[in-house]
Every structure is written in structure tokens, then in C-alpha cells.
Amino acid sequence: MLKQIRSWLNIKLAIPLVGFLRTWILNVIIGNVPLAAVRNAYYRHVCGISIGNNTEIWTGVRFTGGAMDRISIGDHCTIPHYTFFVAGDSIVIGNNVVFGHGVELYTSDHDPDDPHFSRRDAPITIHDNVWIGSSAIILKGVTIGEGAVVAAGAVVTRDVDAFTIVGGNPAKLIRERGTRVFKQFPYGK
Ligand SMILES: CC(C)(COP(=O)(O)OP(=O)(O)OC[C@H]1O[C@@H](n2cnc3c(N)ncnc32)[C@H](O)[C@@H]1OP(=O)(O)O)[C@@H](O)C(=O)NCCC(=O)NCCS
């Protein structure tokens, strides 16, 4: 009986509490510490986020969701202030990917046709050399192809083809990108 109570308390209380505290400390305290080494150590070792070499995650970036340990950010990426990762499923970002400020990624939503608003999760994948403009929103299940550009303020609901520029709500093709050769970002590092 005692064992069952302990197991119940663990599942119902301890695990959610630890998850809540980890996320609260991450977003309210650690994410604002002006030392990248401290932030990165917490992201990597407490949250299990994979961060590549020469990748910058600026202050004020927020993370939430039960699949934080399935967030992976490649090499030479820039994730600036106010980016918001909602990771109910994996978020995989390739190399040399640049975000503008305030990009939001949502792997999760609720089924609008279900009376219980049941949750739906699907991964987000962003390939190498992508630039995502400020305040763009990327929704669940979306793959952004290599070298694509997402215009500022776009709401991306469908996959984006490689080397294209998309914008608007919902995001539509604007044009092809004018180059397929990219230098590592940040330049000169
Ligand atoms: C996407 C972007 C790069 C467009 O570049 P571009 O193709 O050189 O721009 P243009 O001005 O020639 O615009 C091409 C078309 O896209 C449209 N467009 C441009 N920006 C758009 C946006 N954010 N959303 C929707 N449509 C956009 C233009 O209205 C134009 O349409 P038209 O041909 O019907 O007139 C740019 O507008 C943008 O969104 N930049 C992001 C800025 C940002 O986030 N900066 C943060 C620094 S990391």
C-alpha cells in the first residue's frame, strides 16, 4: 500500500514538480544570466538540449514542453532574444541557421474538433542555412528546407521548399532565394 502511495505521489506530484521547477528556473533565472557559459551549461546538462559549436543562444530565450531534451541546435546558429521554443515533440535545427528576434516554434496544439481539445504533437525540422525573420511563427509538423528564408511575421503552417522565400499568414511562396552558396554565420567566427 505504502509503495503504491509513494509511486502515485511520485507520478502525480514529484515528476511534474521537478519539471515545473526546471522550466521555471530556466526561463525566469538562467535564461537571463548574462553569461553564455552558465546558460549553455544549464540548457545542456539540466534540460538535455543539444547545442552545437559556435552557436549563440542570447538572453531571454524561453523553452517549455516535455520534449525539451529532443531540442537539437546545430553549429554556427544564432538564436536571439525572445525566441520561444514549445517542445511537445522534437525540434531539430541544422547548421548555420539564423533567427530574427521573437521567433516562436510550436510543436503542439489541440484538436479543435475534439470536445476534449486533445493534444496533438508533431516535430519541427529546420535544415541548414535557413534564415527565419523576426516574429515568425512555425507550427507543428513543419519542415523548412535547406537555405530557405521565412519572412518577418510569417505564420508557417506547411513545409517550406529548399532555397525558397516564404511570407505572410499562412506563409506562401514569395520567390526563390538568389543564392545556394552560404558562408558560416556569425561571419568571421
Ligand atoms: C523576406 C525578406 C527578406 C524579403 O526580401 P526581398 O525579396 O529582398 O524583399 P522585397 O522587398 O523585394 O519583397 C518581395 C515581395 O515580398 C513581399 N514581402 C516582403 N517582406 C514580407 C513579409 N515580411 N511578409 C510578407 N510579404 C513580404 C513584398 O511585399 C514583395 O511583394 P510584391 O512583389 O507583391 O510587392 C524581408 O522582407 C524580410 O521579411 N526580412 C526579415 C527582417 C528581419 O526579420 N530582420 C531581423 C534580422 S535577423
Residue 14 lies in a domain: no
Cα separation, 51 vs 43, whole angstroms:
8
Mean per-residue pLDDT for 123-144?
98
Q: How many domains is the chain built from?
A: 1
Mean per-residue pLDDT for 157-176?
98
pLDDT band at 55 (very low <50, low <70, confident <90, very high): very high
Residue 20 lies in a domain: no
Q: How far apart are the CA of 150 and the centre of ligand 1, in A?
A: 9
pLDDT tens digits for 3-53? 888 888 777 777 788 888 889 999 999 999 999 999 999 999 999 999 999
All three cell numbers of 70: 529532443
- pLDDT exceeds cutoff 50 at 189: no
Q: Whose alpha carbon is nearest atom 34 of ligand 1?
A: 174
Point out the ligand 1 atom lying closest to the alpha carbon of residue 131. 48
Tell me the best of 103, 174, 179 to mutate to test the pocket of ligand 1, counting ligand atoms within 8 Å of each CB and taking the most.
174
Catalytic, 110? Answer: yes
| CATH classification at residue 92 | 2.160.10.10
pLDDT (0 to 100) of residue 186: 63
Going by DSSP bridges, is the β-strand pair 131-132/124-126 parallel, antiparallel, or unpaired?
unpaired
Residue 168 lies in a domain: yes
Residue 77 lies in a domain: yes
Residue 185 lies in a domain: no
Rounded to the nearest 5 degrees, what angle is found at the Cα of 142, between the Cα atoms of 62 and 102?
Answer: 30
Residue 31 lies in a domain: no
The model's pTM: 0.92
The answer, yes or no, to whether any atom of ligand 1 lies below 6 A from the CB of 49, is no
The answer, yes or no, to whether any atom of ligand 1 lies below 6 A from the CB of 100, is yes
* Residue 117 domain boundaries: 49-176
pLDDT tens digits for 70-126? 999 999 999 999 999 999 999 999 999 999 999 999 999 999 999 999 999 999 999
Residue 35 lies in a domain: no
- pLDDT exceeds cutoff 60 at 188: no
Residue 37 lies in a domain: no
What's the burial of 114, exposed, middle or buried (CB within 10 Å: 0-12/13-18/19+)? exposed
Q: Whose alpha carbon is nearest atom 26 of ligand 1?
A: 167
